[in-house]
C-alpha cells in the first residue's frame, strides 16, 4: 500500500478498526475488481487530505473473506466507515470524490461535536 493507506488484515483488524475511537474508513476491494481500481486513487488522496482526522485502510476481500462476511459485503468496492469500532456509514460502488468528502465531513462533524 502506498502513502497513508494501511492494509487491514485478520491480524490487525481488531486493534486497527474495532478497538480505536478514531473515525476509520475501510475500502473493501479485490485485485480483479475494475471499479475498485477506479476508487483506489481517490482513497489515497482522501488519506492525505484527512491525515490526522481519519484513518484510512484497505481490506482485500479475497484475503480476508471472514471479515467481509461479518459485515455482509456483497459487492465491491464497498466503503465502510467505523466509529468506536462500529460501522456508521456504508457506500457501495465507485463514487466521485466529492461524494466521499461530503460523507467524511458529515461524520467528522457529528463525531467531533461535544456530547
Radius of gyration of the chain (CA): 13
pLDDT at 1 (0 to 100): 42
Query: Which residue, among 65, 70, 76, has the nearest Cα to 30 in the 3D structure?
Result: 76
pLDDT at 2 (0 to 100): 47
| Active-site residue, selected from the candidate residues 23, 25, 36, 76 | 36
Residue 64 bears catalytic tag: no
| Active-site residue, selected from the candidate residues 8, 25, 33, 39 | 33
Q: What is the pLDDT of residues 17-46, one digit of tens each?
A: 999 999 999 999 999 999 999 999 999 999
Domain tally, the chain:
1
Residue 27 included in any domain: yes
Q: What is the CATH number of the domain that holds 21?
A: 3.40.30.10
Residue 37 included in any domain: yes
Angstrom distances, CA of residue 61 to CA of 18, 22, 34, 47, 101: 17, 23, 14, 20, 24
Euclidean distance between CA atoms 41 and 19, whole angstroms? 27
Residue 1 included in any domain: no
Residue 63 included in any domain: yes
Residue 33 included in any domain: yes
**Domain span including residue 20:** 6-112
Euclidean distance between CA atoms 47 and 32, whole angstroms? 23
Q: How many CA atoms lie within 13 A of 56 on its CB side?
A: 21
Here the cell at position 112 is: 467531533
pLDDT at 112 (0 to 100): 62
Total-model pTM: 0.93
Residue 50 included in any domain: yes
Amino acid at each position: 500500500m502506498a502513502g497513508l493507506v494501511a492494509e487491514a488484515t485478520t491480524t490487525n483488524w481488531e486493534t486497527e478498526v474495532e478497538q480505536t475511537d478514531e473515525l476509520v474508513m475501510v475500502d473493501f476491494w479485490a485485485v480483479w475488481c475494475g471499479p475498485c481500481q477506479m476508487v483506489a486513487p481517490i482513497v489515497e488522496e482522501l488519506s492525505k487530505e484527512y491525515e490526522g482526522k481519519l484513518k484510512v485502510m484497505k481490506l482485500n476481500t479475497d484475503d480476508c473473506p471472514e471479515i467481509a462476511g461479518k459485515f455482509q459485503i456483497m459487492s465491491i468496492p464497498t466503503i465502510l466507515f467505523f466509529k468506536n469500532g462500529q460501522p456508521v456509514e456504508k457506500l457501495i460502488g465507485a463514487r466521485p470524490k466529492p461524494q466521499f468528502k461530503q460523507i467524511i465531513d458529515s461524520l467528522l462533524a457529528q463525531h467531533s461535536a461535544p456530547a
